[in-house]
Structure 1
Amino acid sequence: MDPAAAHAARLAPYVEPHLARRRAGTKHPIHDFLFQYYSYRPAQLMRWQPPGQLSTAKRPLVEAILKLLQATIDREGNFGCFGLHEWAMVYRAPRPRHPQPLRLGHAETDKVVEGHRVTCSHWDAVRFFTAPARPLNSLGPSSDDRPDFEQPACLHATMDLYKHAYRLADVVGSDLVADAFELAWDVRIMDMRAAPYDMSGITIDPYGIEWTPIPIETAEGKREYARLQREFAQRAAPVRARLAEVLAGALEPLRRGQREGTSWVSRP
């Protein structure tokens, strides 16, 4: 099988059900997230391309992403956050962000947040916290200091490896994009299993199993969350390292040319 066909066959079990739901006007509360939150269209994801050359126009983006990746690689993971970011997004909110009901109800959900130390390091999660929840976070990430806070145990930092890869798909190639996508897919399942929502009866594709919660409000649930979080951090480590290696390698000719005082002719 040629690379393009193999790539399409690999991702079809994820993309085709999403497209079918879109045609039918239905939504999946877990699986549609990667296609709605991230800007990479299904047709782009399905299209295979090999690794390519870095243009000078993309150098600032590559340098920024590489800095973030390297800072994350060098930092120790926090395995004690227990997915409370999703709970902080509905804390004292008049209505949840998702249509599914809260598994414990509003009052008990608020008590879970109030009874734990919130330690969210990821700005793209913190920015969705409710106003009453933001002061409860012991960390203060912002949109301008991600390298100072991002850490390898964070589920959302792991999902964002997909974003970093597809933004530079013409540099890193579609195989690495697909690796990051599949990792993000599985992480999102865990993210919502630990969220405060009741999704009883929701089927998790392409596995064909029903959703079960990770009750992080209990000691057993915390142990399960931390165990799975470590497994995903281990899975993410080689993807993050490969992405950083490819980007560093793509930058080297530009930096070498700059050091030697020569010009770099970018790809059109």
Structure 2
Amino acid sequence: MQVETADRAAAHRERLAPYVEPHLTRRRDGVKHPVHDFLFTYYSFSPAKLTTWEAGWPESGSAEQLARLRPLVRGTRTLLVATAGRPAHTGCFGLHEWAMVHGADETRHDVPLRLGATGTDEVVESHRIACSHFDAFRFFTESARPLNTLSPGRDDRAAYEQPGCLHATMDLYKHAFRLWPLVGSDLVADCFELAWDVREVDMRASPYDFSGLGLEPIRIETADGKREYAAYQRGFAERAAPLRERLVEACEVLLASWADRT
């Protein structure tokens, strides 16, 4: 058993090394990556924890952790079930990133805007904005917020989240690691790798020019770009569905375990 655990831990570290080691090197050298750092900064799960393999409940974690995290487990399950119960909406075209710089004097990244400030604003103003994800919407500029046809709030995520949203898909990683080690590292890593792929597409569809990093733009201001982005949304929704289901099942196991102990 100990040999099997050691082998799985080593395989887990090897699997994540191509993502984690470049980040640690950049961090040591004081170099920022405007796309990939997001997976280690906005999502505040340390590289050390990410690369540590845990089997999941009940082999990993404790009864005390289960008791402490029970409200989070319950809320996570509610959100994930609600999200899974909706059809995937593929008509937002990644305009959330554009709305974050609408009318702004400064941008969120030290990277040029492909169309310049005026061209970026024109794209925002000529499209229907329908962002359903609060943690994207909350970064809209003041001038862009009234342009959104939806009003997602901090406390009503379950009323808005839908599986076509790239940020809802990336957040599967957050939901998994917040419950770690009660949720095992294999599922955390699966969600991380999906979030990595989604993040790259999210930034390729943004108003920024990341071609210098090898990320060619998805020109969502064009018909071809819209079709390309929607195809990615459908593909990510298909990849996310079984991960969301596994997370729901993990939450239900944890909640049932708590019920058995009380």
How far is the alpha carbon of 1:200 from its aligned partner?
2.2
- The whole-number CA distance in structure 1 between the counterparts of 2:247 and 2:124 is 35
How far is the alpha carbon of 1:201 from its aligned partner?
1.6
Percent identity reads: 62
Match for 2:248: what amino acid?
A: A
* Secondary structure, counterpart of 1:201 in structure 2: helix
* Secondary structure, counterpart of 1:171 in structure 2: coil
Q: Verify: 1:196 aligned to 2:175, yes or no.
A: no
In the alignment, which residue of structure 2 is the partner of 1:150?
161
From 230, 240, 254, the equivalent of 2:244 is 240
Q: Verify: 1:120 aligned to 2:131, yes or no.
A: yes
Which deviations, in whole Å up to 9, do the C-alpha atoms of 1:30-85 show, x marking residues without a partner? 11111011110111101111112462221101000000000000011110000000
Which deviations, in whole Å up to 9, do the C-alpha atoms of 1:92-144 show, x marking residues without a partner? 00011111010000001000000000000000000000000000000000101
How far is the alpha carbon of 1:193 from its aligned partner?
0.2
In the alignment, which residue of structure 1 is the partner of 2:46?
41
From 71, 74, 77, the equivalent of 2:82 is 71
How far is the alpha carbon of 1:171 from its aligned partner?
1.3
Report the count of equivalent residues: 251
- The whole-number CA distance in structure 2 between the counterparts of 1:58 and 1:24 is 36
* Secondary structure, counterpart of 1:172 in structure 2: coil
- The whole-number CA distance in structure 2 between the counterparts of 1:25 and 1:99 is 15
- The whole-number CA distance in structure 1 between the counterparts of 2:219 and 2:83 is 28
From 61, 82, 88, the equivalent of 2:72 is 61
In the alignment, which residue of structure 2 is the partner of 1:225?
229
How far is the alpha carbon of 1:27 from its aligned partner?
1.1
5+ residue gaps, structure 2, are 1-5
- The whole-number CA distance in structure 2 between the counterparts of 1:167 and 1:13 is 23
Q: Verify: 1:30 aligned to 2:35, yes or no.
A: yes
- The whole-number CA distance in structure 1 between the counterparts of 2:32 and 2:257 is 45
5+ residue gaps, structure 1, are 203-209, 258-262
In the alignment, which residue of structure 1 is the partner of 2:3?
none
Match for 1:127: what amino acid?
A: R
Match for 2:54: what amino acid?
A: Q
In the alignment, which residue of structure 1 is the partner of 2:102?
91
Residues 161-176 of structure 1 mapped to structure 2, 5 A cutoff: 161-176=172-187
- The whole-number CA distance in structure 1 between the counterparts of 2:146 and 2:18 is 41
In the alignment, which residue of structure 1 is the partner of 2:216?
212
RMSD of the TM alignment (CA)?
Answer: 1.0
TM-score, normalising length: structure 1:
0.92
How far is the alpha carbon of 1:29 from its aligned partner?
1.2
In the alignment, which residue of structure 2 is the partner of 1:129?
140
